[in-house]
Amino acid sequence: MPISTAPAITLRNGLELPALGMGTWPLDDSQAADAVATAVEVGYRLFDTAENYGNETGVGEGIRRSGIARSEVVITTKFNKQWHSREGVRKAFSASAQRLGTEYIDLFLVHWPNPGQDQFVEAVQGIADLLEEGMVRGVGVSNFKPEHLQRLAEAGLVPDLNQIQVDPRHIREASRQANNRLGIVTESWSPLGRGEGLLHDPSVTDLARKYGKNPAQIVLRWHVQQGLVPIPKASSRAHLEENLAVFDFVLEDSEIAALSALDTGEAGILDSNAFGH
């Protein structure tokens, strides 16, 4: 049976990104290698890792073990605040590329803005330098608020993607609108709400019954139907397969709205002005 992959969406710089990917935190190297190799078999082509997860080596190993061509997968990784300078980003890139065993990184992300340190503009400039040199294919940020994006824009920098926490209980309307205004794709981290209470909410389970899908698939459909790119983490083949099978049904607008009404506001969101590494 031919495997089915996620459809592509196009970033503002022209790079094609699978509309759904796989998260790898908190897998260790060995677990990540196994899960990523399985995920490639299942049809995943977008993988999310980070220096901070300590599993870039395993992610690279899993991709190699799967036998897929490097050009067929999109690798996203992120660096910590100690590298927030133009030269620092270069060092972070070399270290991540070596751990991943790859010559280039598709999307390199500032993991947290750390505005207290006030060097995130330099960090994004550092990624833009690497883009010019062909070492990365896109400029990414994570956990950036509208005010941080504004600072970047004033310096003439607009990232291609902003990875933030989004799920139906945290719909992040203001952040998503700010991303949209700048043409930045929003990638959703913890898209399943960490697999906890959200998946048992009657608003989700009722729709699961209606569509013959499971709760995770309803939540992931809520993301992709709005142009959000979710990166659910799953360790079993069964979960990996289920999470990719969300492109064969359509929620009604009123159903998207009913799920969005689960929003609890920004209270449960880590404040990226205060937290970061």
Ligand X SMILES: NC(=O)c1ccc[n+]([C@@H]2O[C@H](COP(=O)([O-])OP(=O)(O)OC[C@H]3O[C@@H](n4cnc5c(N)ncnc54)[C@H](OP(=O)(O)O)[C@@H]3O)[C@@H](O)[C@H]2O)c1
Least separation in angstroms between CB 113 and ligand X: 11
Q: Which two tokens stand for residue 87?
A: 């030269």
Residue 190 within binding range of ligand X, rule CB under 6 A: yes
Q: Are 259 and 168 in contact (CB under 8 A)?
A: yes
Q: Does 24 bind ligand X (CB under 6 A)?
A: yes
Q: How far is CA 266 from the centre of its chain?
A: 19
DSSP conformational letter for 170: B
99 binds ligand X (CB under 6 A): no
Q: Is 88 among the residues that bind ligand X (CB under 6 A)? A: no
Give least dist CB 81 to ligand X, A: 12
Per the listing, tokens 């990232």 go with 159
Cβ proximity to ligand X, 133 vs 248, nearer residue: 248
Stretch that binds ligand X, among 18-26, 132-140, 171-179, 256-264 (CB under 6 A): 18-26
CB 230 → ligand X: shortest distance, Å? 8
Candidate ranges 118-126, 185-193, 205-213, 254-262; the one touching ligand X (CB under 6 A) = 185-193
Candidate list 46, 229, 231, 244; residue touching ligand X; CB under 6 A: 231
| One of 133, 236, 261, 268 touching ligand X (CB under 6 A) | 236
Binders in 134-163 for ligand X, by CB under 6 A: 142-143, 163
Of 156, 163, 157, give the one whose Cα is nearest residue 185: 163
HSE-up (13 A, CA, CB side) for residue 74: 25
- Annotated active-site residue 211? The verdict is no
Q: Does 239 bind ligand X (CB under 6 A)?
A: yes
Report if residue 232 touches ligand X, rule: CB under 6 A.
Answer: yes
Stretch that binds ligand X, among 93-101, 122-130, 236-244, 261-269 (CB under 6 A): 236-244
Q: Is 134 helix (H, G, I), strand (E, B) or coil?
A: coil
Give the integer Cα–Cα distance in Å for 85 and 147.
Answer: 20
Q: Which of 103, 63, 97, 101 is nearest to 77 (CA)?
A: 97
* Residue 152 identity: L
Write the DSSP symbol of residue 160: S
Question: Smallest distance from the beta carbon of 206 to ligand X, in angstroms?
Answer: 17
Task: Give the DSSP per-residue string, 229-275.
Answer: EE--B--SHHHHHHHH--SS----HHHHHHHHTT---GGGS--TTT-
Cβ distance to ligand X smaller for residue 93 or 112: 112
193: number of CA atoms within 13 Å, CB side? 23
Q: Is 221 in the site for ligand X (CB under 6 A)?
A: no
| Among the listed residues 5, 20, 23, 139, the single contact to ligand X using CB under 6 A | 23
Question: Nearest-5° angle of CA 72, CA 128, CA 143?
Answer: 80
DSSP state of 4: -
In the bound state with ligand X, the residue whose beta carbon lies nearer, of 133 and 196, is 196
Is 193 among the residues that bind ligand X (CB under 6 A)?
A: yes
Catalytic residue numbers, as ranges:
53
Residue numbers of the site for ligand X (CB under 6 A)? Answer: 23-25, 48, 142-143, 163, 189-195, 199, 216, 231-236, 239, 242-243
